[in-house]
Amino acid sequence: MIDISKTLSDSWQKALETEINKDYFKELVTALEKEYRSETIYPKKENIFRTFELVDLEQIKVVIIGQDPYHAPNQAHGLAFSVQKGCKIPPSLKNIFKELERSLNYKYADHGDLSNWAKQGVFLLNNLLTVKEGKPLSHQYLQWETFTDSVIEIINKECQKLVFLLWGAKAQSKKKLIDTNKHYVLESVHPSPLSAYRGFLGNNHFAETNEILRKINKEPIDWSVK
């Protein structure tokens, strides 16, 4: 049984109470339960809302918006761009690590689990939170985007002086949900191999994010992968 309320902290419970009681979200959960019974769906049920579990609403410093979960076995675990330890590092994440190495001299990681970022307040939100095995964007029809847009709107309203990293056209389309007078927004092309060399590599977003956090008296992020 998928029950988001069991995984949420008090602050997320309060912030999302209205949203998760809307008809569309109840229908989404019902349809998703059926999908899990008849198809192979990623991530596992218990990991769908993992980013909410690791990053309390009041602890968010940085928001990174991804597209949808990885669709191969054992990769996705509820954090955008992140894969479980033991998985081959996907191409987009390799380019993220290349930019970290280039800009901050961080050693190239031997795994792709970004939980260490989340534990420091980096909210890794996918636009869609589930996917069918081998079928990217297969859960667009489930209205996940209605939910995740609402999450971005809640974060925009409830939090102060966050850094939003918008990589690629889809993530940049969310800029309309963000008060740019209140928050900082850094944009570039997506880290995908198709676009990374047209502006992602060299964007300095990780270094610039830490500069912003220091400027507003917040602890910078240790971007190493542990």
Compute φ and ψ for 135, nearest 5 degrees: -135, 85
CB neighbourhood size of 37 (10 A): 8
Of the residues 68, 113, 149, 179, only one is catalytic, namely 68
Residue of 3, 120, 7, 1 whose CA lies nearest to 53? 7
Give dist(CA 110, CA 107) in Å, integer: 9
In Å, how far are 22, 117, 128, 196 from 75, measured between CA atoms? 30, 17, 15, 21
Indicate if 149 belongs to the active site.
no
Q: Peptide bond preceding 73: is omega within 30 degrees of 0, i.e. cis? A: no
**Secondary structure of residue 84 in the 3-state scheme:** coil
Which of the residues are catalytic?
A: 68
